[in-house]
Amino acid sequence: MSLPKLTVNEFKERIIDKLKSDYVKDIHEACENDIYYIISSIVNEEILPQWHATQQKYKEKNCKQVYYLSMEFLVGSLLESNLLNCGLLEQSNQALEMLGFKPEKIYAQEHDAGLGNGGLGRLAACFLDSLSSLYYAGHGYGIRYRYGLFEQRIIHGNQLELPDYWLKNRYPWESRKEDEAVCIHFHGDVHMFKKNDGSLEFKYKNTDKVMAVPYDIPVVGYQNDVINTLRLWSAESVYQEEDLTGDGSQYYHDLDHQHSIEQITGFLYPDDSSHEGKELRLKQQYFLVSSSIQNIIKNFKRNQKLSLSHLSEKVVIQINDTHPSLAIPELMRILLDEEHFSWESAWEVTTKVIAYTNHTTLSEALETWPKGMMQHLLPRIYMIIDEINERFCKGIWFDHEELREQIPELAIIAHEQIHMARLSIVGSFSVNGVARIHTEILKKKEMKHFYTLFPDRFNNKTNGITHRRWLLQVNPKLSNLITDVIGPKWVQRPKQLISLLKYSKDTSFLEKVDQVKRENKIRLANIIHERTGILVDDQSIFDVQIKRLHEYKRQLLNIFHIIYLYNELKEHPNLDITPRTFIFAAKAAPSYHLAKEVIKLIHTVASIVNYDSDIQGKLKVIFLENYNVSLAEKIIPAADISEQISTASKEASGTGNMKMMMNGAITVGTLDGANIEINDLVGDQNMFIFGLTADEVLDYYHHGGYNATDIYNTDDRVKRILDQLNQGEFGSHEIEFKDIYYNILYHNDPYFVLKDFEPYLETHELVERAYRDRLTWLNMSVTNIAYSGKFSSDRTIQEYATDIWKIKPV
């Protein structure tokens, strides 16, 4: 049972007492950082008994557990969300105010845990929040990278990457569990013995051993006393400090060795949607998988009288993309070599336990590993993959004659490469995409032969976001307003936001919504001013595109629109347009040249537009550096327009689209990813859809017929912009943006920026007109909020739980 919640006064007294006992300070001597740690420890004291009780309950009830394996968990900062979920946020806010502190300043002391690249990692974090909040026994397994995703600085318009040493100060949410450490083996020789009964036994010798030490982070459910665990593994040398006493070369050899082991969990690979076969990354993947699977089996044995052949009754493992797909051969290895299962029974267990989520169809992102690398680093795992492949290919040859010719496209090992998506499909009982269109593309195009082989495996689970963080926490004013009119039930049942439709034409309600948006915009305008020195008009349209920088996401289309508007205003300075503030935030992968050029272009255009008095402040272009969860939390509540303009078929789902919709922004978007499902709900009248459809795009890719140069030659607006780039009109030197120019004209505009340019401009003219009609706009905004309940990750998790995991709330 939970303790009665602290009152404001008690909370305040706790802060004061703790300051005395832990810091030997009075309140007026304390700095914001002290207070941050004090509040974290108050929260931890609330959490700890519940954390223990939750684990006990799971044991008592002997319920099935879900393990979400992911190379990324982009949790962001936890103090405010933990306070919210513990039911202590109000008390904390008021106590802090009484003590003379600004709550947001205290919460901002926390360094984001940036252990993810983007959508995939943030999705994992939202899922954990929903699992706990909905009373599911579900835990995360990931890696405790010492360096998270790089910190972005912009110097003269160029992206500079700095290491993100997020653990510099003590991280109050983790606890090291040394007694749960496990040993991971790399390299070595595999020896094969024939046993008396004729079966084979495998033993490994001369392996390199690495300790995996877990650090646990509590995952607090929303006011329900459920605390699940996010377990992050850290690599350590099996040597102890005291072993490092040799002198001379041995000492340095050992230190070096220790260093290279710690490197395994040294940093997060900073790529989103591009795969490079780096050995250290493969090591990381096996490290995560082996430590997690060992731990899962240990827990199963500890709590069950059942034999491991019943594993699937008590355990399900969801792999987040193919990054943890070595879970399949690793589970096979343990069942075969340590538990002495036959191949057939091991395979039956494995394929009943593992479920796979695909997050992309971009071919450059699909993981493959060189066969030789796998053989050298993980010899036994390689043998098992080879055997899986042999059996799978034989099965096609004998049982699916119609697919014989396709074997090279289906084989797990082909052309000296191991194809991890193919391994994941073959070795799991469920394969899901992350939005309806994405799953359809998997079934009908990308993975169509696998779909023929295993039609029942494929299913869709449209992504979601936790409305607790992305509405309640980031936009308390809007949340209160919603509760004022429809009551508080939507917090538990976000689909009930639909009741807002009754108020979507209620002028007094709409005016209040307008007022909240204005206040959020003023707050963001202040942040922009503090960080960039630029003053933006809080009455202007805040037009927002925030996401990783990638060609397919088409930030370029957005900046071309801005250049077009600027050119228009230069020609017609008195053009009557509603002032606009274009807000960007985006990190580019460090080696992604074109993406970095686009960042430079945005800055260059900004430096011209923002200071040109001819256009009378009608346009402002803002790039906020170092996009991360905390920055998103500040921008999203202030967005009027949500730019979701990927080349159709390329964005598997998107989740920023859902976050902005939930905060009342109107989407300008292509029919891609989850935009389509947003459109199904709100209709064309509450959203601005434009551009090629996925079918049209795929048709161009397969049959040709698109010529970017034709558009350049016939559309003066396009010609003008590209010539401005080519002639160095935007740039300190002439060759600055030539690569963008060449990519569009000589590589035939692979992402159809020019093709969608005109419809995009026309759509933005409609946006402009719609924005001027205040009440209509606010009605659209409220309609979007009303339908956004579907995109709570609670709905997504419920679907995973009933369709895939077969688990019930505990």
Catalytic residues: 359, 547-548, 553, 655, 659
- The DSSP bridge pattern shows strands 200-205 and 189-194 to be antiparallel
In the complex, what is the shortest distance from the CB of residue 432 to ligand 26V, in angstroms, rounded to a whole number?
A: 10
283, containing H or E segment: helix 279-303
| Span from 140-148, 310-318, 561-569, 646-654 in contact with ligand 26V (CB under 6 A) | 646-654
Cβ-based burial of 181 (10 A; exposed 0-12, middle 13-18, buried ≥19): middle
d(CA 788, CA 658): 7
In the complex, what is the shortest distance from the CB of residue 589 to ligand 26V, in angstroms, rounded to a whole number?
A: 8
In the complex, what is the shortest distance from the CB of residue 271 to ligand 26V, in angstroms, rounded to a whole number?
A: 4
Q: What is the number of the residue whose Cβ is closest to ligand 26V? A: 119
Closest among 628, 72, 118 to 320, alpha carbons compared: 72
List the Cα angle 329/334/337 in 5-degree steps. Answer: 105
| Range 595-634, binding ligand 26V (CB under 6 A) | none
**Do the Cβ atoms of 400 and 453 come closer than 8 Å?**
yes
Q: Which of 106, 411, 524, 652 binds ligand 26V (CB under 6 A)?
A: 652
| Span from 134-142, 652-660, 724-732, 770-778 in contact with ligand 26V (CB under 6 A) | 652-660
**Does 123 sit near ligand 26V (CB under 6 A)?**
yes
In the complex, what is the shortest distance from the CB of residue 140 to ligand 26V, in angstroms, rounded to a whole number?
A: 15
Handedness of CA 763, 764, 765, 768 (dihedral sign): positive
CA 120 to each of CA 327, 540, 692: distance values in angstroms, whole numbers, following the listed order:
18, 32, 25
| Span from 527-535, 554-562, 580-588, 653-661 in contact with ligand 26V (CB under 6 A) | 653-661
**Does 655 sit near ligand 26V (CB under 6 A)?**
yes
Q: Which is nearer to ligand 26V, 370 or 617 (CB)?
A: 370
**Does 673 sit near ligand 26V (CB under 6 A)?**
yes
Backbone angles phi, psi at 753, to 5 degrees: -65, -45
First CA to last CA across the chain, in angstroms? Answer: 15
In the complex, what is the shortest distance from the CB of residue 655 to ligand 26V, in angstroms, rounded to a whole number?
A: 5
Length of the chain as a residue count: 810
In the complex, what is the shortest distance from the CB of residue 778 to ligand 26V, in angstroms, rounded to a whole number?
A: 28
Closest among 662, 670, 596, 793 to 122, alpha carbons compared: 793
- Total residues interacting with ligand 26V, rule: CB under 6 A: 23
Q: Which of 117, 284, 350, 540 binds ligand 26V (CB under 6 A)?
A: 117
| Range 256-275, binding ligand 26V (CB under 6 A) | 269, 271-275
**Does 542 sit near ligand 26V (CB under 6 A)?**
no
> 473-507 burial, b for 16+ CB within 10 Å, e for fewer?
bbbbbbbebbeeebeeebbeebebbbbbeebbeee
d(CA 727, CA 149): 35
Q: Which is nearer to ligand 26V, 73 or 509 (CB)?
A: 73
**Do the Cβ atoms of 475 and 663 come closer than 8 Å?**
yes
**Does 797 sit near ligand 26V (CB under 6 A)?**
no
Q: Which is nearer to ligand 26V, 558 or 649 (CB)?
A: 649
In the complex, what is the shortest distance from the CB of residue 462 to ligand 26V, in angstroms, rounded to a whole number?
A: 10
d(CA 147, CA 179): 24
d(CA 137, CA 131): 7
In the complex, what is the shortest distance from the CB of residue 275 to ligand 26V, in angstroms, rounded to a whole number?
A: 4
Closest among 563, 644, 573 to 601, alpha carbons compared: 563
Q: Which of 653, 743, 779, 788 binds ligand 26V (CB under 6 A)?
A: 653
In the complex, what is the shortest distance from the CB of residue 674 to ligand 26V, in angstroms, rounded to a whole number?
A: 7
* CA contacts within 13 A on the Cβ side of 576: 2
**Does 34 sit near ligand 26V (CB under 6 A)?**
no
Q: How many CB atoms lie within 10 A of CB 794?
A: 25
| Range 765-794, binding ligand 26V (CB under 6 A) | none
Query: What stretches of 7-134 show up as alpha helix (H) in DSSP?
Result: 8-18, 32-61, 79-86, 89-98, 103-107, 119-133
**Does 120 sit near ligand 26V (CB under 6 A)?**
yes
Return all residues near 265 (Cβ < 8 A) that are at least 6 apart.
143, 144, 145, 146, 233, 234, 235, 284, 287
Q: Where are the beta strands (DSSP E) in 666-748?
A: 666-669, 688-689
Q: Which of 77, 463, 628, 724 binds ligand 26V (CB under 6 A)?
A: 463
**Does 112 sit near ligand 26V (CB under 6 A)?**
no
**Does 142 sit near ligand 26V (CB under 6 A)?**
no
CB < 8 Å & 24+ apart, contacts of 453-458: 453/396, 453/400, 453/403, 453/410, 454/425, 457/425, 457/428, 457/429, 457/430, 457/431, 458/431, 458/432, 458/433
And the tokens for 394? 């034989």
Q: Which of 651, 677, 736, 756 binds ligand 26V (CB under 6 A)?
A: 651
| Range 194-233, binding ligand 26V (CB under 6 A) | none
**Does 551 sit near ligand 26V (CB under 6 A)?**
no
**Does 119 sit near ligand 26V (CB under 6 A)?**
yes
And the tokens for 284? 């990381």
Indicate the residue type of 106: I
157: alpha, beta or left, given left = phi > 0 and alpha = psi -120 to 50? left
| Span from 137-145, 305-313, 593-601, 645-653 in contact with ligand 26V (CB under 6 A) | 645-653
**Does 654 sit near ligand 26V (CB under 6 A)?**
yes
Backbone angles phi, psi at 115, to 5 degrees: -90, 45
**Do the Cβ atoms of 41 and 18 come closer than 8 Å?**
yes
In the complex, what is the shortest distance from the CB of residue 530 to ligand 26V, in angstroms, rounded to a whole number?
A: 30
Q: What is the 3-state secondary structure (H, E, C) of 393-435?
A: HHHHHHHCHHHHHHHHHHCCEECCEEEHHHHHHHCCCEEEECC
Q: Which is nearer to ligand 26V, 172 or 654 (CB)?
A: 654
| Span from 92-100, 113-121, 479-487, 625-633 in contact with ligand 26V (CB under 6 A) | 113-121
d(CA 660, CA 655): 9
Q: Lay out the site mask for ligand 26V across 425-444 (x = CB under 6 A, - = otherwise).
A: ---------x----------
Backbone angles phi, psi at 781, to 5 degrees: -60, -50
In the complex, what is the shortest distance from the CB of residue 795 to ligand 26V, in angstroms, rounded to a whole number?
A: 15
In the complex, what is the shortest distance from the CB of residue 124 to ligand 26V, in angstroms, rounded to a whole number?
A: 9
Closest among 562, 558, 548, 561 to 595, alpha carbons compared: 548
Q: Which of 321, 337, 643, 736 binds ligand 26V (CB under 6 A)?
A: 321
Q: Which is nearer to ligand 26V, 123 or 740 (CB)?
A: 123
Q: Which is nearer to ligand 26V, 118 or 221 (CB)?
A: 118
Q: Lay out the site mask for ligand 26V across 355-384 (x = CB under 6 A, - = otherwise).
A: ----xx----x-------------------
**Does 473 sit near ligand 26V (CB under 6 A)?**
no
Q: Which is nearer to ligand 26V, 130 or 273 (CB)?
A: 273
In the complex, what is the shortest distance from the CB of residue 775 to ligand 26V, in angstroms, rounded to a whole number?
A: 33
Residues in touch with ligand 26V (CB under 6 A): 117-120, 123, 269, 271-275, 321, 359-360, 365, 434, 463, 651-655, 673
